[in-house]
Amino acid sequence: MGEVLRVEGVVKDYRRGAHTVRALDGVSLAVAAGEFVSVLGPSGSGKSTLLHLMGALDTPTAGCVRVGGVDIGALSDDELTDLRRRQLGFVFQFFNLLPTMSAWENVAVPLLLDGHRLPSLKRRAVPLLEALGLGHRVEHRPAELSGGELQRVAIARALVADPILLLADEPTGNLDTDTGASVLELLRAGCAERSTAVVMVTHDQHAASIADRSVRLVDGRLVGAPSTT
């Protein structure tokens, strides 16, 4: 199996008035197809910044990010939009679901943009929700769902286009420990089934322990790869 992600010597500076914050200071990391990697680190260590660069949501000050072998710094805006939609999936701490849409419609959103018709989208979205234990919630709106259910809908949405890489930022940050553990287990199973690689950033050692491999970010630098098992 090939490599889905390669981050090479990435630096990210944020300008704040007269001075500069170096959020990432020479980060290099490679992720193989189907691999689940967690990035642990304290608040402010640069985790979200790194994930945004991996997801082509921001550009590095220096260094390079390759997704599926392609240097994303060389892509046009249209190509980046395409990459985010077809190759990547995103899961965030605050779910980011559309409040007026049902659970299955939220899952189908990434496919809507491709011009599919709604009934065929429902046939794709519902089995995914069922696999995540939400077969009885497909018509519910976000306001009618629990935190753990909301995050499972977000995971289904992230997986619906069969991405090669799923990027998760503190996916259990708003869940209690037991709910978080079961949501992560479903995330792992859903990704394993599709050979989707995962990079999950978290400050929670317990959440990180679900990964195949865990690396640690401190002050914008990766420091070693401690075993999590």
Ligand X SMILES: Nc1ncnc2c1ncn2[C@@H]1O[C@H](COP(=O)(O)OP(=O)(O)OP(=O)(O)O)[C@@H](O)[C@H]1O
Of the pair 43, 76, the CB lying nearest ligand X is at 43
* Degrees to nearest 5, angle at CA 207 with 202 and 211: 95
Taking CB under 6 A as the binding criterion, the range among 39-47, 74-82, 154-162, 184-192 that sits at the site for ligand X is 39-47
Tokens 């490599």 — which residue? 3
Stretch that binds ligand X, among 16-24, 30-38, 115-123, 189-197 (CB under 6 A): 16-24
The one-letter amino acid code at 1 reads: M
Q: What type of residue is 27?
A: V
Q: What angle do CA 64, 68, 70 make, to 5 degrees?
A: 45
According to CB under 6 A, which residues from 40 to 59 bind ligand X?
A: 41, 43-49
Q: Are 156 and 107 in contact (CB under 8 A)?
A: yes
Residue 16 engages ligand X in binding (rule: CB under 6 A)? yes
- Per CB under 6 A, the segment of 13-21, 105-113, 141-149, 156-164 that binds ligand X is 13-21
Q: Could you give the C-alpha distances from 124 to 101, 106, 116, 214, in angstroms and in order? A: 16, 12, 11, 32
Minimum distance from residue 15 beta carbon to ligand X (Å): 7
Q: How far is the CB of 39 from ligand X (least distance, A)?
A: 9
* Smallest gap from residue 123 Cβ to Mg ion (A): 36
When binding is defined by CB under 6 A, the residue of 4, 5, 7, 23 that contacts ligand X is 23
- Contact between 21 and ligand X by CB under 6 A: the answer reads yes
Helices (H), 24-143: 47-54, 77-86, 103-112, 118-131
**Contacts (Cβ under 8 Å, ≥6 apart) of 63:** 7, 8, 9, 10, 11, 26, 27, 28
The nearer residue to Mg ion, 164 or 168, going by C-beta atoms, is 168
Residue 48 touches Mg ion, criterion: CB under 5 A: yes
- Determine, following the binding rule CB under 5 A, whether residue 45 of this chain makes contact with Mg ion: no
Closest distance of CB 187 from Mg ion, Å: 18
* Residue 163, contacted partner among Mg ion, ligand X, none, CB below 5-8 A by kind: none
Count Cβ atoms below 10 Å from residue 17 Cβ, excluding itself. Answer: 5
Q: How far is the CB of 101 from ligand X (least distance, A)?
A: 27
CA distance 216 to 199: 12
The token pair that represents 54 in the structure block: 């991996």
The residues facing 217 across adjacent strands are 222
Considering the complex, state which of residue 16 and residue 117 has its C-beta at the smaller distance from ligand X.
16
DSSP 85: H
Site residues for ligand X per CB under 6 A: 14, 16, 21, 23, 41, 43-49, 203
Give residues in contact with Mg ion (CB under 5 A).
47-48
